[in-house]
Chains A and B, each alone.
Chain A
Amino acid sequence: MIRLSRVKTDPIVNLRRHAEAIGEAVKQAIKPDRITVEYPRERRRYPECFRGFIVFEKDKCISCFRCAQICPANAIQMEYFDKAYPGIDYAKCIFCHFCVDSCPTGALNTSKVHDVAFKSMDEMILSARQITRIPEIVREERQTVEYYVDRQVWRLIRKRELDNLEVPPKPVIVKKRKAACLEPESCLGCRLCVNVCPQNAIKVEKCEISVDEEVKGTGCILEIQEDLCTGCGLCVRQCPMHILTLKEVGE
């Protein structure tokens, strides 16, 4: 059985703690360390990686459908005019920004707009034309506020400036790709890839196929010279066996 007894406190320590509490309260009453942002009149300064309203740039889009495929909420529907362009249903969007991350050309970009109001559910389905720029918003705030701790003096500092809600597009990192053969033993030796390659980077040579040091027949071996390959992908389209692919190399 555990017996509870009264906690013994030193009256002097107790008094000191009371004095500390009162001192802290007085300090806060005179100069509070509060980090309130009065939202409609001020706006928090959001970082560049803020996941807000998605802005679409039509010229960069290559209609690769990656955004629509990766969307976990199924909020992106492709629509056709000229090419296939993504439209976003904001009733479904969960702002994970997988689409922005997956876009190979950087056609989709984030913005710092997070307070868009719609009148009805139907209005929330935005077409590609409607998301080419950030929606019209009335900016009530006169300043954007950011709180940060200055590590030199260890004090909370309130920084004010008017921030732009549009985010500059980030440079897209496109990885270099080169042709590679997935299953060299399936090669028919048709030499279509050799004919189509503009750089003459592919060579097909005859070779003997041997099992247990016994020659069974002849086959073809496919050699890709990586220093010559530009990663155009023509050979990938030509191959009847679909054994060629583009592989990412380097950074």
Chain B
Amino acid sequence: MFDVINYIYGIFRSNMMDIPLIAPIVDYLMKIPLINILVALILWKPFFAVIIMPGLAVLTLYLLYIVWYERKLTARIQWRVGPIEVARPIRGAIQALADGIRYFFQEAIVHREAHRPYYVQLPILAFIPVLLPIMFIPAGSAVGIYTPYSIQLIVAFIALIPITIVAIGWASNSRFAYIGSVREAFMYFAYEIPFIIAVISMIFLYGSGDAYVAVEKQSAIPGVLLNPIAFVVYIIAMLMATSRLPFEIPEADQEIAFGPFVEYSGILFGLVMVLAYEKLYIMALLFTILFLGGWSGIYCPLLGDLNGPLWLFIKTIIVISVLVIVRSIYARYRLDQALRIGWTSMLALSIAALVVGILGVWLL
């Protein structure tokens, strides 16, 4: 028994995050038995990447931040005030937390027409394709599972998310949810192909699907300048994929009342509502790695190994914060208009991006 614990402790100990800022505290805690194994687990690089940063803990923080930030920014642009009554001194910054707590204690109604088992379990199942890509997203030296095909894997998991949303709409068995599901399926075909082609063009350019190689190749020039067409296609695909406003077709509030999620209430609604935000987070992480130089940034010696995850997170948050402004600028496209954009201009642009990628490899 003791040997097993010691063996596990040895594994954790061999691959720990080295952060000089909290080194004295860590050293002190490592002397205490049983607590040291916990500290070693938290600072174990794969665990740290998946659970702490840029994984679950930071994802939760991001969700609390982005819901408030988006509402607040839209309100400012539209001359409103936005959420303010929850914690007035900080301008309602914990509104999302308050909503989350309310969802927890609210009754989750399962209506009679719903396909009960799927209806209840699909919101939870939908998290599998959302959270799995985090395993393969490296942040500096911290990485869950290292693989030379990480970018392809992330794209593959992102492509799985709409399937669960369509299934949610089907299990809800209501007319709005049905329309929402069909729209989601249409949009899925509209954005997925240009999106994948844009990513393939970047993989061509970097010569590998390895995120480390991609970041290393961008040390001189970021990917934005290497392939600006792929950049544009990726941004539009990101807006389409996460149903941001110009393409908020599957969840159109005013038409079909949140589309596939119309029947959900309570904590189940809380789970499905953040699905698009989580997808946005994953796609923005991939975006940062592909186009903005990933975790490379000004190295602060005090943070040590934390530099990589922190820079990746900061860049992602900036990208998302800039992206949410489109919500207050553009009106919603019709489904046919969005499909036309997806199948004509975006497809053409993505193929042009692919050509640029191939030419770039040939020239470099």
Contact = CB atoms under 8 A, between A and B. Distances in A.
Contacts of A21: 329-330
A29 B79 contact: no
A111 to B, nearest CB: 29
Interface string B158-200: 0000000000000000000000000000000000000000000
A47 interface: no
Nearest to A41: B88
Interface residues of A, number: 12
Contact of A38 (B73, B79, B81, B328): B81
Residue among A21, A25, A26 with max Cβ neighbours from chain B (10 Å): A25
Contacts of B76: 28-29, 32, 34
| Interface size range of chain B in the complex | 10 to 19
B77 interface: yes
Interface string B318-361: 00000001001110000000000000000000000000000000
A27 to B, nearest CB: 9
B329 A29 contact: no
B116 interface: no
A28 B79 contact: yes
A29 B84 CA distance: 16
Looking at chain B's contact residues, the main secondary structure is: loop
Contacts of B328: 25
A36 B325 contact: no
Contacts of A34: 76, 79-81
Nearest to B88: A41
B73 A29 contact: yes
Contact of A36 (B73, B77, B79, B330): B79
A35 interface: yes
A37 B328 CA distance: 22
Contacts of A26: 325
Contacts of A32: 76-77, 79
Interface string A8-33: 00000000000001100110110011
A53 B81 CA distance: 30
B246 to A, nearest CB: 11
Nearest to A36: B81
> Considering the complex of A and B, which 4 residue pairs feature the smallest CB-CB distances, nearest first?
A34-B79, A28-B77, A32-B76, A25-B329
26 contacts: A21-B329, A21-B330, A22-B325, A22-B329, A25-B77, A25-B328, A25-B329, A26-B325, A28-B76, A28-B77, A28-B79, A29-B76, A29-B77, A29-B325, A32-B76, A32-B79, A33-B79, A34-B76, A34-B79, A34-B80, A34-B81, A35-B79, A36-B79, A36-B80, A36-B81, A38-B81
Interface of A: 21-22, 25-26, 28-29, 32-36, 38
